[in-house]
Structure 1
Amino acid sequence: MTENLPRDRYDTTIKELFGDGEEELISFFGHLKTKVIQHLNIEFARVEKKRSDLILECRTELGPAAVHLEFQSTNDSDIPFRMLRYATELQHKYRLPVYQILIYFGEREMTMADGLVYSFGPQNHLDYRYRAVDLGSITREEIKKTNNYTLYALLPLADRPRRRQHPEAFLRECVLDILQAPVTTEEKRKTLLRAEIFAGLYLEEKIIEQIFQEVETMLNIEESAGYQRIFKKGVEKGIQQGIEIGIEKGIEKGMKKGRQETLRESVLKLLHKKFKKIPRPYVDKIKTLDEYALGLILDNIFEINTLADLEDYLP
């Protein structure tokens, strides 16, 4: 679906991908309810390199504010200085309180400070803080409990201990979470595209490609020309039978037959993708399965990794 991005471009990419989910990001990472008014911008004459920032004028439960989200995929010891520059430039230009959130989603544990503090003599003090969140320390279940499906794209970046131990299996679990979300197919595709990009931080491209090709095939089942052709054929055959045994009963039978043939075609297509070649006896058994049994195979397609696994679903 997409090629992996260079590591230093993830910071910019996460900003671009969540342009339609800013309020959700602020609510989850900043624990602050907001209404975005507009995007803000500032000239960084003194900032050596402008990084990926998301700066918004918001109405919040605490009053108006300039909310700044900074995304980091690597640890940067200079980040407190850059965050302070943002804060002072923003307040100087817009005269608003500045609420800052540093969101870190790197592979390693976060080591960056969450502010700058010093005291020199009786009158020179600095106690500057911002909110710093390590996405890898947040569990997959915490994100799911929000029921905010925009955030599901971040699932592959959560639960660092689990994804380190079983990275491929963890990504499959995240993908299943997205597939099972009660949203439209188009929204699932958008979320999966984002998740695929973020998975490139810690998984090889060939593994990511295999997992997401299987998913894309499943999402395309109902919209594919093959599905429409088989379903239509089943309905037409049912209607023809209805002339003899009753229109209503015939159409129902034809629709059921169309669904079953579509499921069978989809199961065989996905299994061919996984195993390249399926022995003839397995194909023959699959052709005898009813709609329920075929659905079980589709529901558990990611857990079927060998022909021995497949046998558990066959007569």
Structure 2
Amino acid sequence: MSYDNACKYLAERFPADFTRWLLGIEATRVRVLKTELDLEPIRADSVSFLRVGDRILHLEFETDPYSNPPIPFRMLDYSVRLKRKYRRDVEQFVIFLQESSNEIAFTTEYRDRTTTHRYNVIRLWEEDPAIFLDNPGLLPLAVLARSDSPQALLEQVAERVDRIENSDRRQGVAACTGILAGLRFDRDLIRSILRADFMRESVIYQDILQEGRQEGKKEEALLLVTRQLEWKFGEITPVLLEKIRSLSIQDLENLGVDLLGFSELADLEAWLG
């Protein structure tokens, strides 16, 4: 399931709810910025950028603390790119969806010998569900929040979703609730509590599932290509890995064939260039 795509949908359809939660302000105008940053993208499928007044709100949703490059470095990289492009202050939040004891989920800065960069981290399993229950765009996140009785919380969320009057909005929120609930609950339980017809009929649900399937195919192709390259040339530099990650599925498949004829790393660099 494409959990981060569900979150991206929520952030971009309900930006005022997210700014109210994360920045503590009632924003009258929030502009969703499409992720067209200079240079190749880092991982544009799991991030949302919102322009709120004179600042940029950068949201990154994670189920797994592990990534390449590591999350702290990615946050530094994104911050620099956003400031260069928009000339605005940047507020960054990494929102971890699934409970983890990994130290990255408790890390709030990037640090090396000359640079320190700080960002915000939210671990949903520690959050009070109250604020999520009071905002339609945050309702799906409530199922992952702190609770002594998670099933009762899921039932409460389902009841709140059922109250949403606009049918398109209700279906979208229900679809995202069903997807995110999969991180915590058994599928049969989810179906028994949420109205399955909302999810089945929701165009949003089908779109999110399709995006998830495409991402799965890309990850498989990426893994195959990087393993072939590491077997052939040893460790690949982070710069080259980022260029490879930015390729489309078709380009990854083409690279998988073409690299059989590479004799040195310069051939890969020329191909990517």
TM-score band w.r.t. shorter chain = 0.5 to 0.7
Q: Which residue of 2 aligns with 1:203?
A: 185
Q: Distance in 1 between matches of 2:120 and 2:136?
A: 23
Q: Tell whether 2:66 aligns with 1:76.
A: yes
Pair member with larger Rg: 1
Aligned residue runs from structure 1 range 9-48, under 5 A? 9-34=2-27, 35-43=29-37, 45=39
Amino acid at match of 1:201: L
Q: Distance in 1 between matches of 2:39 and 2:142?
A: 36
Point out where structure 1 has 5 or more consecutive residues left out of the alignment. Answer: 217-315
Q: Which residue of 1 aligns with 2:110?
A: 116
Amino acid at match of 1:11: D
Identity rate, percent = 23
Q: Which residue of 2 aligns with 1:55?
A: 49
Q: Distance in 2 between matches of 1:193 and 1:90?
A: 31
How many angstroms does 1:110 deviate by? 6.7
- Distance 1:94-1:170 versus aligned 2 partners, 3 A rule: closer
- Distance 1:148-1:171 versus aligned 2 partners, 3 A rule: closer
Q: Distance in 1 between matches of 2:161 and 2:101?
A: 25
How many angstroms does 1:154 deviate by? 1.7
Q: Which residue of 2 aligns with 1:98?
A: 90
How many angstroms does 1:32 deviate by? 4.1
Which of 140, 150, 158 aligns to 1:153? It is 140
| Residues matched between the structures, number | 192
Q: Distance in 2 between matches of 1:185 and 1:20?
A: 14
Secondary structure at 1:19 match in 2: helix
Deviations 1:44-69 (A, max 9, x none): 6365544411112221xxxx122211
Secondary structure at 2:194 match in 1: helix
Secondary structure at 1:157 match in 2: coil
Is contact 2:21-2:131 (8 Å) kept? no
Q: Which residue of 2 aligns with 1:173?
A: 156
Amino acid at match of 1:54: S
Which of 105, 126, 129 aligns to 2:118? It is 129
How many angstroms does 1:198 deviate by? 0.9
Deviations 1:241-282 (A, max 9, x none): xxxxxxxxxxxxxxxxxxxxxxxxxxxxxxxxxxxxxxxxxx
Q: TM-score, normalised by structure 2?
A: 0.61
Q: Which residue of 1 aligns with 2:265?
A: none
Amino acid at match of 2:74: R
How many angstroms does 1:200 deviate by? 0.9
- Distance 1:95-1:127 versus aligned 2 partners, 3 A rule: same
Q: TM-score, normalised by structure 1?
A: 0.53
- The CA RMSD over aligned residues, in Å, is 2.7
Q: Distance in 2 between matches of 1:37 and 1:173?
A: 31
Is contact 1:67-1:100 (8 Å) kept? yes
Q: Which residue of 1 aligns with 2:212?
A: none
How many angstroms does 1:79 deviate by? 0.6
Which of 181, 194, 204 aligns to 1:212? It is 194
Q: Distance in 1 between matches of 2:157 and 2:32?
A: 32
How many angstroms does 1:188 deviate by? 3.7
Is contact 2:37-2:82 (8 Å) kept? no
Q: Distance in 2 between matches of 1:29 and 1:158?
A: 15
Secondary structure at 2:31 match in 1: strand
Deviations 1:5-49 (A, max 9, x none): 1xxx31122102442101211220233443313414334636554
Q: Which residue of 1 aligns with 2:263?
A: none
Is contact 1:143-1:155 (8 Å) kept? yes
Aligned residue runs from structure 1 range 202-241, under 5 A? 202-213=184-195
- Distance 1:156-1:110 versus aligned 2 partners, 3 A rule: farther
Amino acid at match of 1:172: E
- Distance 1:71-1:211 versus aligned 2 partners, 3 A rule: same
Q: Which residue of 2 aligns with 1:184?
A: 165
Deviations 1:218-243 (A, max 9, x none): xxxxxxxxxxxxxxxxxxxxxxxxxx
Q: Which residue of 1 aligns with 2:78?
A: 86
Point out where structure 2 has 5 or more consecutive residues left out of the alignment. Answer: 199-273
